[in-house]
Amino acid sequence: MAITFYSYPKCGTCRKAKKWLDQQEVSYEEIHLIDSPPSKEELETLHKKSGLELKKFFNTSGVKYRELGLKDKLPEMSDDEKLELLASDGKLIKRPLTTDGENVTVGFKEPEFEEKWLG
């Protein structure tokens, strides 16, 4: 199973997740989330496969999220608008974003990684 690991090298959570994947000898392709964010279409697919609400894909602790006042705006936005926004700026996406085309994890929680990526 080919795993795609969208991360940001300066992100501590991404580094922890990457270290975990390396320790478990899980192979993955790393993509710089800020330089090459997933397209709107890719995000839509990941959202559907994840079973999560779209809000979970937002980096709610990020500076950009606060600057744009998204806490108040998101509830009013359509999914299409949210996906457009996420695709426009990798800093808005919660990281790391990990997928093998079927499974998707957003952020890093060790039990979730064990379940999805060691299965």
Give the tens place of pLDDT for each residue, 57-80. 999 999 999 999 999 999 999 999
Domains and CATH numbers, the chain: 3-117 (3.40.30.10)
Share of the chain above pLDDT 70, in %: 99
Q: Select from 83, 101, 104, 102 the least CA-distant residue to 92.
A: 83
**pLDDT tens by residue, 89-112:** 999 999 999 999 999 999 999 999
- Please state, in angstroms and rounded to a whole number, the distance separating the CA atoms of residues 96 and 114: 15
The burial of 111, by beta-carbon neighbours within 10 Å (0-12 exposed, 13-18 middle, 19 or more buried), is given as exposed
pLDDT band at 4 (very low <50, low <70, confident <90, very high): very high
**Given this model, what pLDDT does residue 119 score?**
73
Cα angle 26, 30, 31 (rounded to 5 degrees) comes to 155
Task: Report pLDDT for 1.
Answer: 63
Q: How far apart are CA 95 and CA 107, in angstroms?
A: 5
